[in-house]
């Protein structure tokens, strides 16, 4: 058998190169993902498994994998309660409002509903009752 040169660019009809470039693309996308750390290490692994059938011929398998930076967690805040009428647990995400501010649905950050007093066209909202 004559010696031949092996090029990883064309090996397995270009599959070796294709696998590497595919993993490199995944790594690049992971680096640019704003939900991951830009400076975390990433790893590309190319594995070649050779299974000889005898001394003359064998199968070659190419595996590729990459270890990417994990996606950052997302943290929020919730309030939990219990509805006595329905006997069910209730919950709501706490918005990013300032303490004591009203949300558009009429409930402030503590879950209180304002008791209103009408004085002409003006409503005072200075007394609170538990909602």
Closest CA to 64 of 9, 23, 15: 23
The pLDDT of residue 118? 53
The pLDDT of residue 126? 47
Q: Would you tell me how many other CB atoms lie within 10 Å of the CB of residue 46?
A: 14
Which tokens go with 94?
Answer: 């706490």
Q: List pLDDT tens digits, range 66-87.
A: 999 999 888 888 888 888 888 8
Question: Of all helices (H) and strands (E), which one includes residue 96?
Answer: none
Q: What is the CA radius of gyration of the chain?
A: 31
Q: List pLDDT tens digits, range 13-51.
A: 999 999 999 999 999 999 999 999 999 999 999 999 999
């Amino acid at each position: 058998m004559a010696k031949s040169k092996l090029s990883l660019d064309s090996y397995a009809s270009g599959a070796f190169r294709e696998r590497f470039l595919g993993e490199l693309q995944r790594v690049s996308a992971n680096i640019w993902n704003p939900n991951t750390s830009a400076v975390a290490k990433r790893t590309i692994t190319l594995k070649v498994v050779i299974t000889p059938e005898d001394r003359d011929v064998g199968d070659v398998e190419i595996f590729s994998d990459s270890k990417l930076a994990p996606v950052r967690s997302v943290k929020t805040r919730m309030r939990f309660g219990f509805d006595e009428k329905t006997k069910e647990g209730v919950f709501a995400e706490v918005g990013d409002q300032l303490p004591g501010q009203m949300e558009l649905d009429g409930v402030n950050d503590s879950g209180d509903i304002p008791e209103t007093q009408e004085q002409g066209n003006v409503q005072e909202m200075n007394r609170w009752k538990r909602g």
